[in-house]
Every structure is written in C-alpha cells, then in structure tokens.
Amino acid sequence: MPSRARLSGLILALTVAALLGACAPEEITPPAVTSTAVVAEHRNVVPTPPADPMPETVWPLTGLDARNATLADLERVAIGVKVENGFQARPQSGLEYADIVFEEYINDSSVRLLAVFHSYYPEEVGPVRSARNMDPNMIGSFNTALVASGCNFAVQYVFQRVEQYLFMEDAKHSGVTKGYIWYSEGFFRVSPKTSMHSLRVDISPLAETAVVKGALPASPQFDYAYPAETATAALEGTPVGTIDIRFSASGHPHWVWDADGGLWQRFERDDPHLTKEGNQIAAANVLVLRAKVVYSNGKNPESVVIVSSAPGFIASGGKVTPIFWSKADRTDTFHLTTLDGEPVLLAPGKTWIEVVPLSGARDKAVIKFDDVVQ
C-alpha cells in the first residue's frame, strides 16, 4: 500500500495536470464552406437604332426631302410641257428643273420630250412644240394638263375623247377653247430663235388655270429607296458606265455615270446636253421602256405604253438591271417589277423615261450598256 506521502503527491500531480489542461486554448476547426467566385456581368452596348433614312416629307414626283416645302407646294399640280429636242432647239430653257421627263419617238425619225414640273415651277420652259397622239398615255397618270404649241384636229379629238386637259398657244388664235382644249396666260416668245423654236411658257400661270379647270394635286408615280444605295438597280444590277440609245438618225441620247455626283449625266451624242443657263442635264434614274409604235390615220404615230412583252431596264447608282413593266390604262401609273416579280425601287431624284420604239419606227432602235447591245 502506498504511503500517505506518495498518495498526496500523486493527487497533487493529477490536479496540476487538470488545471493545465483547462487553461489550454480550445482548438476550433472551421466548417467546410463551398464558395463560388462571382463573375462580373458583361453587357454588350446596344447601339441606338439609326434614324429612319426616309425624310418625314418628300416631293411626290422625286422622293426627295421636302421638309422646307409648304403644304401648298406639296399639293400643287404637276404640269407637263411638250419640248422640242432637235439640235436647232438646243439649248432648251428650264429643262433641268423637270422632275420626270419622257423622251419619245414622234414621226419622221424625230424625237421629242414631255417634261413634267412640280417641285419647281420655272419662269421659262421651251421651246414648246406640238402635242401628239401618244401624249395622253404619257401624262394621263398625273391627273393634270399638258402644255403644247398646238396640234392638228385629229390629235385634238384624241384629247377630247379621253378627257385629257391640253393648253395650246394656238388656241388663242384659232378659238379652240372648249371641252378639254384651252388657252392660258403664260405663253410668250423669245428671239433670235426661229418662230418654230421661239415659244416659251411660264409654268405658274398655267398651273393656276389647270386647277380652275379641275387638275388634281400631283401623286407619286414610283416607289423610292431610302437610302439611295438600296435602290433595286444599285443593289441587284450590273455596273455600267454608259447608256446609249439610238431612237433614230436624229435621236441619240447618251448617258454617263458620274460617281462623284451620284447622277447620270446626259449627252446628245458626244456633246453635253446643256440648258440655256449652262446646266448639264442629269438624273438619278434612267428608265428604259420599249413600246410598239402604231400609226393613226396612216401617218401619226402613237407610242402604245399600256403593256409590253419586252422587258425594260432601270439604271440607278451606276448599275442597270432588267425589269418588267405594265400600265393598265392611260390614267394608271407605271408598275415596275424585277424579273422575279419583286417591286422596283428607284433612287430618290429626277427620272428620265426613254420610251424606245420596239417596232414600227422608221429606223431600228438600239440600246447599249457599255457598248453592249441589248
């Protein structure tokens, strides 16, 4: 048996050990934690949608920006003027201000223009020449009047029969001021042109008379692309630098693409087609339509522009593409589609319409793009 002294020592040792254990710091094991790194969210900056490139207000016959035009300007009538285009008639007056111009074969290999004015009324347009049988088909969709120096009784009958307004300078002297044939203030003569090429017209007085007679505000004739680079020919066409059209021995317009100006520049053969003010004729669009020429009373040709089995062409933005076209009747607009049947969009701006004889003319007409015959 251990002695009391040894027992006391053992108890003391155990007590000290217990006290030391109680004073030792507690070991703490942190709980297992699963953490996921938070990745900063990345958002692509969404660009602000571009403004609609189509102007809020446009001129109906050109599709150009008309924000500075008044409502009265936009709702005024268009006026068509028959303009001579023989070499003796050039330079013409006011032709550069026309919104739409038809070039048509008339007779004896001659070519004449029908210029339609709306966005600007020049004070002098001419030389003004006589009307022809085909003109009601050309001007009919504009719901307005044609201005001419005169016409024979057979042509007068056509205008009366189809109820197309015609203002003639000759009517003042011949007394033909009835039905749809009228005279209006605005005609005047200039010199030193010959009497055949001296007649000019101020558009504004004729427009006022046309309204009194019942002419209606101008309405759009074509559909336009915004921006111009999305026009049908510019998107789908074949690049070309020149357009040559031979109507006849006396009609040979030539167009050259001006990339800097973004327009087709017009020439008569090799000479720039300049107006009296020294401006070269130019257009955003050159529309080439082929029409059969038939003869009334054996001698008066009439370009039938109601329907054609032959494709036409539209040139915009330095390119050209074939199209189909139709016109249901003389008061209908031209309906243009691609060969796939899609609607054709023109570039905003002036348009020249070359109504080229498909058959029936004295000379065979020729159309060339970059010297390639179509």
Highest mean pLDDT among 13-22, 45-54, 242-251: 242-251
CA atoms within 13 A on the CB side of 87: 11
User: Of 189-193, 214-218, 295-299, where does mean pLDDT reach its minimum?
Assistant: 295-299
Mean of per-residue pLDDT scores for the chain:
84
Helix boundaries (H) for the chain: 4-23, 71-74, 135-139, 153-162, 171-174, 203-213, 232-236
Confidence band of 249 (pLDDT split at 50, 70, 90): confident
Element holding 157 (H helix, E strand): helix 153-162
**71-373 sits in which CATH class?**
alpha beta
Contact of 213 with 144, CB cutoff 8 Å? no
What DSSP designation does 46 have?
P
Amino acid 7: pLDDT: 35
Give the residue carrying structure tokens 């809020």: 56
User: Of 167-176, 234-243, 313-322, where does mean pLDDT reach its minimum?
Assistant: 167-176
Burial class of residue 328, CB neighbours in 10 A (0-12, 13-18, 19+): exposed
What ranges do the domains of the chain cover?
A: 71-373
Integer Cα distance of 193 and 197 in angstroms: 6
Q: How many CB atoms lie within 10 A of CB 173?
A: 10
Could you tell me whether strands 263-268 and 271-272 are parallel, antiparallel, or unpaired per DSSP bridges? Answer: antiparallel
- Which residues have a Cβ under 8 Å from the Cβ of 26 and sit 6 or more positions away? none
Contact of 104 with 114, CB cutoff 8 Å? yes
pLDDT at residue 294 above 90?
no
Assessment of whether the complete model's pTM goes beyond 0.75 = yes
Q: How many CB atoms lie within 10 A of CB 46?
A: 6
Integer Cα distance of 264 and 225 in angstroms: 17
pLDDT at residue 43 above 70?
no
As given in the structure block, the two tokens for residue 254 are 């030539």
As given in the structure block, the two tokens for residue 139 are 């001007």
Confidence band of 46 (pLDDT split at 50, 70, 90): very low
